[in-house]
Amino acid sequence: MPRSNEGRQASAKDKIMLTLLKARKIVNQALLRARELNVSVSVAVCDTSGRLIALNQMDGSVGWQADRRSMGKAVAAAITGLPSDRLVEKLGEGGPRLSSYGNVVPPQGQRGGLPVVEAGIVQGGCGVSGAPTAEEDEDCARAGIAALDSSATEPALPPYSGRSSSSLSMASSA
């Protein structure tokens, strides 16, 4: 006999989910921070299983490698619940097995990915790649994730200064 969900109390985990809307908010805020730093990056947001939710590559970012690295950093942060550069440390402690994530971009143990945490629960990861330094990648990821704490309306992305073309974005299409 099937069990009914009637009368069941929803846990915090049931109520919180990293949605496409939230992922877009993270990506857009990370892009705003990248523009403030005058760097071109690729930003990826994935869920806790490493499945991609949103991806954006800015004009001038360094090809497909930046995309793959941003996705790998997001996956590393999502599956460990730690900054992506701590992946090797977590694997050494008997953490997640990389073979378990064969259907997604392999995790990257490089700085620039941070876990997305809401109400103390890891919901996914945000990875950024393409800035001249790993610190700038991580700064953009941190700014993106901080957008979830903001109850303010999401700001519109300003046009690039000094650049003639606009970025094609999965994150900004409706």
Residue 106: predicted pLDDT? 72
Residuewise pLDDT in 10s, the chain (174 residues): 444 445 445 454 556 789 999 999 999 999 999 999 999 999 999 999 889 999 999 988 877 788 899 999 999 999 889 999 888 877 767 655 555 555 567 777 899 999 999 999 999 999 999 999 999 999 999 999 999 986 544 455 555 454 433 444 444 443
Pairing of strands 42-47, 121-129: antiparallel
**Class for domain 25-148, per CATH?**
alpha beta
Q: Are 42 and 68 in contact (CB under 8 A)?
A: no
DSSP element (H, E) containing 87 = helix 87-92
Residue 141: predicted pLDDT? 98
DSSP element (H, E) containing 161 = none
Residue among 135, 133, 134, 116 at smallest CA distance from 124: 116
Helices and strands of the chain, counted as H and E runs: 5, 4
- Edge-to-edge order in the sheet of strand 113-118: 52-57, 42-47, 121-129, 113-118
Residue 153: predicted pLDDT? 47
Residue 166: predicted pLDDT? 40
Q: Name the one residue in this structure whose structure tokens are 């869920």.
A: 47
Q: Using CA atoms, how far apart are residues 123 and 88, in angstroms rounded to an integer?
A: 21
Residue 107: predicted pLDDT? 77
Residue 111: predicted pLDDT? 93
pTM (predicted TM-score): 0.75
Partners of residue 153 on adjacent β-strands: none
